[in-house]
Structure 1
Amino acid sequence: MKITEVAPVLLRGDECYGAHAGDHEATDQGDWLLLIRVRTDEGLEAWSDVETLGPVAARVISGQGMGALGFRTIGEQLIGRDPLEVEQIWDELYVATAYYGRRGVAMHCISAVDNCLWAIRAQAAGKGLADVLGGRRRDRLPAYASTLFRADPEANAAAVRRYADLGFRGVKFGWGGFGVDTGRDRENLAAILESLGPDRTLMVDPGWYIEDDGRPRARTLAQTWAMLTTLQEVQPYWVEDFAHPEQPDLYAAAKRDFPWLRVAAGEQHATIWDFRRLVSEGSVDVLQPDLSRCGGLTVAAALPSDAATAGREIVTHSWLTDLLHAYSLHYLATLPEARWVEFNVAQSTLSAGVVTDRLALHPDGTVGVPDGIGLGVTIDPDFIATHQVAG
């Protein structure tokens, strides 16, 4: 079997990221969305989303590379290869893009292609994806609603009540300017906890950078410690991704000063080497590989042994479409222990529309691992045709 096509499918929308005043729900990246499709000469086909700068990534997939190794595009490197040689292909793509890649957009594209190849491997075997990843241990996972902080306590409280009514067992609020104004943070957290009640779990994802007078910057150390002091009053299940990704030692330093703190991180990281640094230098409690960024399932599949040895939890980061939710569910279904799956409730029109049957929350607050051969979700060709633009 040979790969015959590696195609970027770039979709355009008209919704902006953020928690907008008066809106019922926050919105993820609704202006651009990149999907990647891989096809073979035996008629097998797989899709993956990829959370990255879509117009640039489209060129990384199908643009014109250079003659020297290290400057190749992903598509030209893959055409004609056996798609079942998944792990070998990952190593080759890492080298083929090494001079302009290794992290960032190129690694995001490798991640999406890798996911597709795993789905094709499952299709070729006539099995579900979890089965070829090591075997399904569970059919559903508890889900937490993943959303953005709203601007005021009333709006945050209303959001919590909505997620509780839907049946989510946990809620994660993130970004939205959290970690700059201590007084506002304290008011928002109080409103969230009051509506959340004692039977549901709170996670907080303040992010590691902010926008200050229109300019992006990382928080100062003093701002970060002040934010953690505020969070100490509520002690969420975890605090996520608050340190610069190149400084994992800041997580360990924070844990020394805040003994209650459980750190979650990984959405900004890629390759097994990055995750080993999070364990060894950062003492991170919850590892969060994003399958559309970390290097794909090949990288994620190498992580459980390290996590088990160090006593760490794995919860994928999956803030995008139901394609990413499905890949994450299959992966988490194979782990010896899996307590949560992240479920993006802030899907834009683009994120929500790419599959024909959206994944749904069960009344008990869980989401089922898709059944069937391969990934188990189906692309909506009409929606894609309506929103596709030239790469």
Structure 2
Amino acid sequence: MADTIASLTLSSVRLPLVTAISDAKVLTGRQKPMREVMFLFAEITTESGDGGIGFSYSKRAGGPGQYAHACEIAPEVIGEDPSDIGKLWTKLVWAGASVGRSGLSVQALAAIDVALWDLKAKRAGLGLAKLIGAHRDGVRTYNTSGGFLQAPIEEVVDNALRSLQAGIGGIKIKVGQPDWRTDLKRLTAVREAIGDDVPLMVDANQQWDRATATRMGRRLGEFDLVWIEEPLDAYDVEGHAEVARRLDTPIATGEMLTSVGEHLKLIDAGAADVLQPDAPRVGGITQFLKVAAHAEQRHLDLAPHFAMEIHLHLAAAYPGNDPWVEHFEWLDPLFDERLETRDGRMWLPDRPGLGITLSDQARAWTVAKTEFVR
């Protein structure tokens, strides 16, 4: 007889950031500085005592909504066979059908989906990447957390050099300031500090219009960038395709999209040279793998957004070109384990599943918790 899900515990965890974070959207008044990240954790236990953990997250807004929706649909998995992950994803999305199949609704069920994959890998005695089918044991990694716009350029340079010393392979900094000359000065300082051979990326966080993105992209050509990220509004598919055609520097985008269908539109339009899907945002690992399959068929580079604890495994299992994974140390306090960076790559842990366990600090930052039992 198949083992079944005996309990599911959902926790809403508020992670405070040491420094209020600003990107281009803050400097132009679209958003306020980010001071915290809200996490939704799902912990599944089976009748036989096996367990899995997964998470989703929300920045600036949406955390309480994710938690509330997850609590509404969570009873649907109790008593089910946890191995039937695709079936359970469909059951959960239909349980919340009135709020759609993208956005907050799938972000809420993503935490459960990730926990099911973690459980499945643990029961097999494998790391998640090995369960899916790893193509590499380490993935190229670049740091983002040290390059935000609230930091003076001297701090950004110091952060970049420390990241390289820690074995991280590339550096990404934020651009999109009101005065474009400030962007060029900051970028020049970073490139001079890290040298010509270190991979360097920039992220405009949806700041520019099409004409500005084209002009800035041409100005940035001298820096030999790996990519220019989100030059336009995330949902301007035609605009991203137009800019991608005009520039030699690759265009990266996709992190804000919350469904497979949205990613397919981006891919079909030729709007991304580097696709940046986010498993917690797109509905979990089940949906991420669908996006990745389409990206590989179009020979796109892959660079999943944020949540390196999940995305390291998914990038390692990508059959296409050697992908990138984004390094953020923000989540470190939430887990007892640390991921290894060495020789420009992030390496798969030898622990089963995702290889993470919640820390005492994560428990202390929990603001709401609900358990569902059989």
The bucket for the TM-score relative to the shorter chain is 0.7 to 0.9
Give 1:283 shift: 3.3
Write the letter of the residue equivalent to 2:14. R
Moved more, 149-158 or 365-374: 149-158
Give 1:158 shift: 2.3
Give 1:136 shift: 2.3
Distance 1:305 1:389 in 2: 37
Give 1:94 shift: 2.3
Distance 1:379 1:302 in 2: 28
Q: Is the 1:3–1:39 contact (alpha carbons within 8 Å) kept by the matching residues of 2?
A: yes
Report whether the alignment pairs 1:54 with 2:33.
no
2:180 corresponds in structure 1 to: 182
- Structure 2 counterpart of 1:42, from 45, 48, 52: 48
TM-score by length of 1: 0.82
Evaluate the alpha carbon distance shift between residue 32 and residue 300 of structure 1 in structure 2; reply closer, same or farther with a 3 A threshold: closer
Evaluate the alpha carbon distance shift between residue 232 and residue 32 of structure 1 in structure 2; reply closer, same or farther with a 3 A threshold: same
Indicate the SS of the match to 2:144. Answer: strand
1:125 corresponds in structure 2 to: 124
Write the letter of the residue equivalent to 1:5. S
Q: Is the 1:250–1:282 contact (alpha carbons within 8 Å) kept by the matching residues of 2?
A: no
Give 1:179 shift: 4.1
Distance 2:97 2:235 in 1: 19
- Structure 1 counterpart of 2:332, from 333, 352, 368: 352
Indicate the SS of the match to 1:113. Answer: helix
1:369 corresponds in structure 2 to: 348
Q: Is the 2:303–2:315 contact (alpha carbons within 8 Å) kept by the matching residues of 1?
A: yes
1:142-200 CA deviation, whole Å, 9 max, x = no partner? 2211223344433332222222222321011236xx24311111111111111120221
Report whether the alignment pairs 1:159 with 2:142.
no
Indicate the SS of the match to 1:390. Answer: strand
Give 1:276 shift: 1.4
1:62-89 CA deviation, whole Å, 9 max, x = no partner? 1xxxxxxxxxx32132222221111112
Evaluate the alpha carbon distance shift between residue 223 and residue 152 of structure 1 in structure 2; reply closer, same or farther with a 3 A threshold: farther
Write the letter of the residue equivalent to 1:330. H
1:80 corresponds in structure 2 to: 79
Q: Is the 2:53–2:119 contact (alpha carbons within 8 Å) kept by the matching residues of 1?
A: no
Report whether the alignment pairs 1:269 with 2:272.
no
Q: Is the 2:157–2:189 contact (alpha carbons within 8 Å) kept by the matching residues of 1?
A: yes
1:253-304 CA deviation, whole Å, 9 max, x = no partner? 112332x131111211133222211111143111111111112111122234
Report whether the alignment pairs 1:203 with 2:185.
no
Q: Is the 1:6–1:61 contact (alpha carbons within 8 Å) kept by the matching residues of 2?
A: no
TM-score by length of 2: 0.86
Evaluate the alpha carbon distance shift between residue 54 and residue 4 of structure 1 in structure 2; reply closer, same or farther with a 3 A threshold: farther
Evaluate the alpha carbon distance shift between residue 221 and residue 90 of structure 1 in structure 2; reply closer, same or farther with a 3 A threshold: same
Give 1:251 shift: 0.9
Q: Is the 1:370–1:377 contact (alpha carbons within 8 Å) kept by the matching residues of 2?
A: no
* 1:288-303 alignment runs, 5 A limit: 288-303=276-291
1:90 corresponds in structure 2 to: 89
1:104 corresponds in structure 2 to: 103
Give 1:33 shift: 3.1
Q: Is the 2:5–2:44 contact (alpha carbons within 8 Å) kept by the matching residues of 1?
A: yes
Evaluate the alpha carbon distance shift between residue 158 and residue 124 of structure 1 in structure 2; reply closer, same or farther with a 3 A threshold: closer
Evaluate the alpha carbon distance shift between residue 352 and residue 304 of structure 1 in structure 2; reply closer, same or farther with a 3 A threshold: closer
1:88-142 CA deviation, whole Å, 9 max, x = no partner? 1222222222221322221111222111111111223333212321x22322222
Report whether the alignment pairs 1:387 with 2:365.
yes
1:230 corresponds in structure 2 to: 219
Write the letter of the residue equivalent to 1:157. V
Evaluate the alpha carbon distance shift between residue 189 and residue 356 of structure 1 in structure 2; reply closer, same or farther with a 3 A threshold: same
Report whether the alignment pairs 1:248 with 2:227.
no
Give 1:60 shift: 0.9
Distance 1:202 1:29 in 2: 26
1:4 corresponds in structure 2 to: 6
Distance 2:20 2:84 in 1: 37
Write the letter of the residue equivalent to 2:99. Y
Distance 1:305 1:49 in 2: 23
Distance 1:222 1:262 in 2: 17
Give 1:356 shift: 1.0
Indicate the SS of the match to 1:47. Answer: strand
Distance 2:159 2:213 in 1: 26
- Structure 2 counterpart of 1:326, from 305, 309, 313: 309
Distance 1:31 1:256 in 2: 35
Give 1:13 shift: 4.4
Distance 1:130 1:144 in 2: 20
Indicate the SS of the match to 2:115. Answer: helix
Q: Is the 1:180–1:227 contact (alpha carbons within 8 Å) kept by the matching residues of 2?
A: no
RMSD over aligned Cα atoms? 2.4
Evaluate the alpha carbon distance shift between residue 44 and residue 61 of structure 1 in structure 2; reply closer, same or farther with a 3 A threshold: same
Q: Is the 2:275–2:302 contact (alpha carbons within 8 Å) kept by the matching residues of 1?
A: yes
Distance 1:233 1:152 in 2: 23
